[in-house]
Structures are given as C-alpha cells and as structure tokens.
C-alpha cells in the first residue's frame, strides 16, 4: 500500500508523523513503512521535535556548508562549483543557486524505514518523522510505502 504526501515546506523541519501514523493505522498490519523523498534537496530524517535542537542543526549546517552571498547581498553563491551555471548543460531556466543545499543533504537521508506492529509505528518516545527542506519554501511530494512482514 502506498500514499503520496504533498506538503509545502516553509521551514527546515516539517513534521509528517501524524499523517504516517494514521496511514499505518488504517492499514493495520505488521511490517515496515518507508518514507522516501524523490527530491535532491529535501530529505527525510527522524529526530526529536524540539525547536532549539532544530536551531542547533541549522547552525551546524550553516557552519559545515555555508551559503555565501556576494557583497551586494544578492543571492550569488560563489563557493560551490555546482552554482557555476554557465559551465553546465541543460540547466532549467528556474535553476536555484543551491550548491550548499546539495552538500547539506549529506547529513540526512533520502528515506527512513520504521517498523510497524499491528498498524502502530514503533517510533520511540521522542522520535518524530520530518521532511527536511534545504531550499527555501517549496512544494514537495514524498512517497510513503507500507510493506507486510
């Protein structure tokens, strides 16, 4: 059984837990749920729902893979080769300057897999399921798949 989750990501972490818990509950079986992001700058991650922890992650990413701007303050990332658009083929007209987002992706996952027992996720007391948006606000479509034991 499979479901697409459509969301508008307006912050680093968007909590998907309730929607996935409901989907598994309707299903009612035991097995695994896999939540997959088909996007290259929107990941899936499990962590605590605590805003100061999320701020720690944001500062950590800013320090590990900073986004540089030019002195005039325009968004022009001069550190990442991926952003030298004039060297690339077949670049879409609306291509984003987001080399740093692609590097930040290395800290997260394309998907997470979680065990389900009789329709109930075994997620632990503090873990929640998040879409991690590494670009500014975007429309994203994730894929939630249920696999029977």
Residue 17 sits in the site that holds a second copy (CB under 8 A)? no
Of 14 and 42, nearer to a second copy (C-beta) is: 42
Residue 29 sits in the site that holds a second copy (CB under 8 A)? no
Provide the residue count of the chain.
149
> Please, which of residues 31-70 interact with a second copy by CB under 8 A?
31-32, 34, 36-40, 46-48, 50, 52-53, 55-57, 59-60, 64-65
C-alpha dist (Å) from residue 6 to 22, 61, 89: 15, 25, 30
Minimum CB separation of residue 72 from a second copy in Å reads 24
Minimum CB separation of residue 89 from a second copy in Å reads 9
Q: How many residues bind a second copy (CB under 8 A)?
A: 57
d(CA 109, CA 26): 26
Nearest of 18, 34, 14, 7 to residue 116 by alpha carbon: 34
Residue identified by tokens 């950590």 is 60
């Amino acid at each position: 059984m499979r479901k697409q989750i459509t969301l508008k990501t307006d912050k680093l972490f968007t909590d998907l837990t309730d929607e996935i818990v409901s989907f598994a509950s309707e299903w009612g079986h035991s097995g695994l749920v896999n939540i997959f992001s088909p996007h290259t700058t929107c990941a899936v991650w499990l962590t605590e729902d605590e805003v100061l922890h999320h701020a720690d992650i944001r500062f950590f990413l800013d320090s590990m893979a900073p986004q540089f701007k030019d002195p005039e303050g325009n968004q022009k990332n001069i550190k990442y080769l991926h952003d030298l658009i004039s060297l690339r083929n077949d670049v879409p007209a609306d291509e984003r300057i987001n080399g740093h987002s692609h590097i930040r992706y290395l800290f997260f996952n394309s998907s997470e897999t979680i065990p389900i027992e009789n329709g109930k996720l075994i997620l632990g007391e503090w873990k929640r399921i998040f879409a991690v948006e590494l670009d500014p606000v975007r429309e994203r479509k994730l894929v939630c798949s249920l696999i029977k034991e």
